[in-house]
Amino acid sequence: MSIRFETPRVVNVPIIPDRSTLQRYVDRVLDTGRFSNNGPLVRELESRIAERIGAAECVLVANATLGLQLLMKALDLTGEVIVPSFTFMATPNAVSWQGLTPVFCEIDSTTHNLDLRACERAIGPDTSAILAVHVWGRGCRPTAFQTLADREGISLFFDAAHGFDCWSEGHRLGCNGEAEVFSLHATKSFHCGEGGAITTRSAELARELRMRRNFGFTGYDRISTIGINAKLPELSAALGLANLETYDESVSASKETHRVYTDELERRLDIRPIQYAEHNHCHYVVVEWPSDRFAVSRDTLVDSLHGENVIARRYFYPGCHRMTPYAGETGRMNLGQTEELCARALVLPAGAQIEKADVTKICEFIERLADG
Ligand code: T4K
């Protein structure tokens, strides 16, 4: 049986905004000739995101990777930073780029997030911070990690790349730790094409981040600190503002996609994609494929799906600790749970844009393969 699609069905097809709404914002850029450097659209989007999330401050940047780097620079971290290995390479690479050492720590296999006890054990004399990731937008226990960081006298900040508008412990993500960094990349539930947002409660930290994203300038010819160019262009902010207007509708469509996958997979194979206990955009449909129960392994399944133009992904295989430049280093942690999850995780094409009929076809195909 073939279901081969003419065009690829990919994980997280970017949301396309309403064209006339986008045109309205683009016209504002063209009318004023202001394309960059903390322009009015960037400031407007910062206010709208801060208001939506309930954060005191939002600082937009060119992407989340640079956002993490700017934040680590501003926090003046030294030595080691604890990170999960079950994350996108941007997380440890941002740490390394700052001349810091990422220490890979084990995850909790049920939440896919950093394990608190393992993190406690990973803290050493050179640890200056914990960089926790809200994988799939499921909150990484902000309160418990804050208690640990306070007790150890180290910084805590979050890679919230997946977590826009997600809730954890009864609150929207965005106000935890020293700061949280969201990705606004095209593949995210809310996007600017490329972009990142740092949210924080601290006005002082936000002021420093704004200065550092703009080369460190504090006046026309005065530089106060080492900065970089991490500014978000106005045209990217235009895309973000247009997308924000229909964000709630696209989340509803993503939730429906997730629901259809859950129903289909449960009915056909008695498995479920991971479920979201608190409010989540449901942008990621993630299955832990039980290779021992079915006729095909996770990897054969992925290959077969690709053959049908269904570009399922193995995020975050094989684990950052097994990828260059970290492979071969002997970390001090056991990463058994991480490796097991890396061998099982399967991310299916989802989001607001995929047709529900396509989801049904994909699940039917998976069922046929699973039955052998
Ligand atoms: N921390 C975490 C935990 C992250 O997951 C990420 C990024 C970051 C930090 C860093 O955030 P940024 O610095 O990027 O703001 C994608 C994204 O590029 C990346 O942003 C994301 N995480 C990661 C999980 O996924 P790839 O290399 O797997 O994506 P790619 O190019 O294969 O795109 C996925 C599919 O989407 C493709 O099959 C094609 C489709 N697509 C993609 C783009 C960009 C489109 O249809 N249109 C598009 O414009 O990394």
**Counting atoms of ligand 1 from 1, which one is nearest the CA of 87?**
3
Overall pTM surpassing 0.95 (yes/no): yes
As for ligand 1, residues whose beta carbon falls within 6 Å of it are 10-14, 63-65, 87-88, 90-91, 133, 159, 161-162, 183, 185-187, 196, 311, 315
- How many CB atoms lie under 10 A from the CB of residue 280? 27
Which of 273, 270, 285, 304 has the alpha carbon at shortest distance from 372? 304
Q: For each of the chain's 372 residues, which pLDDT tens digit applies?
A: 799 999 999 998 899 999 999 999 999 999 999 999 999 999 999 999 999 999 999 999 999 999 999 999 999 999 999 999 999 999 999 999 999 999 999 999 999 999 999 999 999 999 999 999 999 999 999 999 999 999 999 999 999 999 999 999 999 999 999 999 999 999 999 999 999 999 999 999 999 999 999 999 999 999 989 999 999 999 999 999 999 999 999 999 999 999 999 999 999 999 999 999 989 999 999 999 999 999 999 999 999 999 999 999 999 999 999 999 999 777 777 899 999 999 999 999 999 989 999 999 999 999 999 998
99 CA distance to ligand 1 middle (Å): 24
**Counting atoms of ligand 1 from 1, which one is nearest the CA of 193?**
49
Q: Whose CA is nearest to atom 31 of ligand 1?
A: 187
Which of 286, 370, 321, 302 has the alpha carbon at shortest distance from 96? 321
Q: Whose CA is nearest to atom 41 of ligand 1?
A: 13
249 CA distance to ligand 1 middle (Å): 22
145 CA distance to ligand 1 middle (Å): 27
- Counting Cβ atoms within 10 Å, is residue 125 exposed (0-12), middle (13-18) or buried (19+)? exposed
Q: What are phi and psi of 195, to 5 degrees?
A: 160, 165
C-alpha 60/C-alpha 288 separation (Å) is: 34
89 CA distance to ligand 1 middle (Å): 11
Q: Up-side HSE of residue 268: CA atoms within 13 Å toward CB?
A: 21
**Counting atoms of ligand 1 from 1, which one is nearest the CA of 68?**
9
The pick from 12, 70, 135, 183 for probing ligand 1's pocket by mutation, whose C-beta has the most ligand atoms within 8 angstroms, reads 183
C-alpha 175/C-alpha 304 separation (Å) is: 42
372 CA distance to ligand 1 middle (Å): 32
161 CA distance to ligand 1 middle (Å): 10
Which of 245, 283, 190, 256 has the alpha carbon at shortest distance from 19? 245
185 CA distance to ligand 1 middle (Å): 7
Q: Whose CA is nearest to atom 33 of ligand 1?
A: 187
170 sits in the region (left: phi over 0; alpha: psi -120 to 50; else beta) called left
CATH fold group of domain 19-245: Aspartate Aminotransferase; domain 2 (3.40.640)
253 CA distance to ligand 1 middle (Å): 20
Question: Residue ranges of the domains in the chain?
Answer: 19-245, 247-370
Which of 192, 246, 232, 242 has the alpha carbon at shortest distance from 28? 242
**Counting atoms of ligand 1 from 1, which one is nearest the CA of 67?**
13
CATH fold group of domain 247-370: Aspartate Aminotransferase, domain 1 (3.90.1150)
Do the domains at 19-245 and 247-370 have one common CATH topology? no
**Counting atoms of ligand 1 from 1, which one is nearest the CA of 63?**
15
